[in-house]
Structure formats: C-alpha cells, structure tokens
Amino acid sequence: MHRDTAQDELRRILDVGGDVGLSGVAHLDDALPVSTLATTAMGALASAVDALMQSASLLPGPEVRVDRTLVDAWLGRHIRPAQGSFPSPWDPLSGAFPTADGSWIRTHANAPHHRAALLAALALPDARTVEELSAAIAHRGADELESAIVAAGGAAATLRTRAEWMRSVPGSAVASEPLIARIDTGPTDAGSTWHPEPARPLAGLRVLDLTRVIAGPAATQVLAGLGADVLRIDPDTWDEPAVLPYVMAGKRSARLDAKTPAGRRTLSDLLAAADVLVHGYRAGAIDHLGLGEDERHRLRPGLVEVGVRAYGWSGPWAGRRGFDSLVQFSTGIADIGMRHADAAAPVSLPVQALDWTTGYLAAAAAVAGLTRRQISGRGSRWRLSLARTAHALTTLAGEGAASASGADSVTVAGQRIETSEGALLLAPPPFRVGEATLRFDRVATRLGGDPPAWL
C-alpha cells in the first residue's frame, strides 16, 4: 500500500476530504516508515476535525496543517519533566530473551498480575532476577513458553518473521480486517451538551474513557485537547503511574468498582449521558460488567463507540492480551528491525509507534463518528487494533525516505504545565485546523482525583 493510497483509504473510511498541508522533517523512517504512517494518521485526524467543523458551520473549510517533526514528537516524546526524567515504565522482567530452540520471546511484566503469570509459567518464585529469568527461559521453546504464559493469564510473544505471521491463522485474520472498521447503529434520541467553538470544536462533548496504558488513552487525550470533557474510569485496584504523564493531559479521572451494584449503576448513568465511549479492555470485559453492545446502545442511542484491541477483532487471537512491544514481535516488526540493523538480537521500533498511531486513528474515528451523527442523526461503532496498524506499517515498508536522526532528536518542549509532581514541558501540537489545535491546561499524574460525574 503506497502512502497516498493509505491516506485515500483513511479518507474513504472516515468520510473526510480536503488537502492537508505538511511541514517539518520526518525523523523516524528507517527500517520501517514509522513517520510516514504516523503522519498519515495525524493527517486523517486533522481532516476529520475539519469535516466536523464544517458540519457544525464553524468555518468554511479552514486551513489544515500537520507538522511532521511534531508528529514524531507526539509518538511518546511529547512530554518531559522540567527537571530530571520520568521513571522507566518497564519492569526489569519485561524484555527479549533467547529460547532453547534458537528463537526469542518477548515478556511483559509491567502489571503485577502479568508478572505473576510469567513467573508461574516458569515455575519460579516471585522477586526473581533478570539473570534467573533468562536462565529459565533458555531451557524452553519459544512457542511452548508463549502458550504457557498466555494460559497462565500473562502476556508474551514469540519472535516471528512477517512471512510467518502472514501464514498464521491469527495473522491472516488480522490482515483481512480494515484498518478502521465502522458499523452504523441506531438513531439518536438523546440531547447533547456539545457547543462547538472555532478553537475548541469538541467543547461540551462528553467522552467516557475506559482505556489503559497507551493506545486508547492517547485517543482520549486528543479528544480532551480539542475541548471534550473526558472522564477516565478505573477500579481501585489499577494503577500505571509511569505511563500517566504521557496520556492524561486535559482529562479528569475517577475511580469506581463496576463489579458492585452501586458502581455498575454509576457507570451506566455515565454512559447514558456520554456522547463518545472509548474502550480498550480485553474482549468481553465490558460485557461482563453488564454493558454488552446492545445494552450500551440502548442506554445511549446514537452513541459513538470506539474500541481498540491488541490482536484484532476476528480469528483465534481476538481476545488475547497484548501490548505494542509484543505485537511488534508477533507481526514481524522486531525481526525486520534485526535484519535491517544486521543485529544478533531482535530490534524493536524506536518508539511505541503501534500504540500512538492506533490511538490517533481511534481519535480520528471518534471525530468522524460525531460528524456522521451530526449529519445523519445516527450513532456508530468503530474498531481498531495494534496488529492491524502493524500490518499497515509493514505493508508500507520501503515507501518512506530513511532518516538517521532517530527518536532522540524529536523531543520538542513548548508549554510548561505545573502538576503536583512538578513542572512538565509539553511539545507544541502537531496539527492545526483553522483556530483549532490541541490545548491543555493540566496533566493528571495520579488516578482518581475527580468524582465519577460529568461537568
């Protein structure tokens, strides 16, 4: 798929048009065209904002601009502390390890329950060192260990070539899915607090955020930056402090236990008054809270719903736990990087590009859904996955112009935001549509600081 074709596909799916003016220099096109894909996604997002603004009669076709340098920065290099550095989000037991059959496996131990599952699958007691973990993995085959970790409730990925992934049943299923799938739903019979403004096109919109880690939170962060009231909901048992500064700009955060009758009623009430729902939980998780697809759209007719998964929405891995680092191993990206660098070990992308790009595509889908509702009066359901974004990236391979400057050169500091954890420096926004761009006045660095209620 050529870059222009990718942009054309996104315009067709999102039902947007118009030209996007590009500036800046791409830094991350190397073994794979990361900048190219990310800029295409950000251009689709900006075009979707343009279409929404025109549907609301805000402006007659405002100028749409995207800065490629800043797009690269917003792949995880968009924020940093004014002093010092953020702690690493990686658990020491998360990494790439050689296996007994000459392959490699990528482990993920950042969440406590995933760490416990990894150690259980290896019959190791808790608090083991990296050296002990590596020695245990070295006596197991990659595929067998991957299956054992997944069966234990953990997350891991065998290193595969792109050809091996495409020949597999999960890979074939993901490749057959659209980059962004859309299902139109029923008409809306509920009001909205939306009051669009030229500089804040999503002002007054309510976005219920049921997401974690990066891709889903990246999408809702963009919606907050465009003026929406984004309310993230988490249980008391969940935290991700090392990730929060990257994805919580402009949002509010509340905690509730949706497994209790009172918590479930509160969550249902929030959904009934929402314009947009973005969710990134594993398959079936929301259904188990009594909020299946039919119930979600019964509670809020005309809802714009965006769902993000790791390994797609069809095939045997549709419900599998996954993260950007793992999907890179599964889909051949880490193998491509290893071969390109002539390295002895897998080489992942310099940024979590699958997460961030999928997040920006998900934000574009949400905005496009709002435009469709504005014009047709009907809701919609949108689906994306990290693995399908990986397929788009590997399909684009060879189309981008390589640049050796790398990820470290795209850290750009602009706005200074004071938080309870100290001052943060936020890069300038990567796109502008007339007066509209990303604007933030706060960054939540802890979960649960707000009540579970709409403004």
Higher pLDDT, 173 or 399: 173
Q: What is the DSSP string of 294-317?
A: HHHHHHSTT-EEEEEESS-SSSTT
The answer to whether residue 61 scores a pLDDT higher than 70 is no
Average pLDDT over every residue of 77-92: 93
Average pLDDT over every residue of 74-100: 95
Pairing of strands 181-187, 206-210: unpaired
The overall longest dimension of the chain from CA atoms, in Å, is 65
Average pLDDT over every residue of 435-439: 96
pLDDT class for 406, splitting at 50, 70, 90? low
Higher pLDDT, 333 or 12: 333
pLDDT class for 13, splitting at 50, 70, 90? confident
The pLDDT mean for the chain works out to: 92
Average pLDDT over every residue of 52-79: 90
The answer to whether residue 404 scores a pLDDT higher than 90 is no
pLDDT at 19: 82
Distance CA 38, CA 31 (A): 15
Distance CA 242, CA 248 (A): 11
pLDDT at 284: 85
Helix (H, G, I), strand (E, B) or coil at 120: helix
CB atoms within 10 A of CB 155: 26
The answer to whether residue 403 scores a pLDDT higher than 70 is no
pLDDT at 408: 55
pLDDT at 388: 97
Q: Are 351 and 77 in contact (CB under 8 A)?
A: yes
Average pLDDT over every residue of 169-178: 97
Average pLDDT over every residue of 106-118: 95
Distance from CA of residue 51 to its chain's centroid? 22
pLDDT digits (tens, 9 = 90+) for 201-258: 999 999 999 999 999 999 999 999 999 999 999 999 999 999 999 999 999 999 999 9
pLDDT at 443: 96
Give the domain ranges of the chain: 3-87+180-312+350-433
Distance CA 97, CA 99 (A): 6
pLDDT at 58: 82
The answer to whether residue 153 scores a pLDDT higher than 80 is yes
Average pLDDT over every residue of 138-156: 97
pLDDT class for 405, splitting at 50, 70, 90? low
Average pLDDT over every residue of 429-442: 96
The answer to whether residue 331 scores a pLDDT higher than 60 is yes
pLDDT at 128: 79
Q: What percent of the chain has pLDDT over 90?
A: 83
Which residues have a Cβ under 8 Å from the Cβ of 86 and sit 6 or more positions away? 80, 242, 245
Structure tokens at 392: 């788009």
pLDDT digits (tens, 9 = 90+) for 261-319: 999 999 999 999 999 999 998 888 898 888 999 999 999 999 999 999 999 999 999 99
The answer to whether residue 407 scores a pLDDT higher than 60 is no
Structure tokens at 410: 């795209």
The answer to whether residue 9 scores a pLDDT higher than 80 is no
Average pLDDT over every residue of 118-141: 93
Distance CA 311, CA 320 (A): 7
Integer angstrom CA distances of residue 57 from 3, 50, 228, 375: 31, 11, 18, 12
The answer to whether residue 379 scores a pLDDT higher than 90 is yes
Distance CA 48, CA 45 (A): 5
pLDDT at 402: 46
pLDDT at 65: 95
The answer to whether residue 401 scores a pLDDT higher than 50 is no
For the domain made up of 3-87+180-312+350-433, give the CATH fold. Rossmann fold (3.40.50)
Q: List the beta strands (DSSP E) in 328-421.
A: 378-385, 415-419
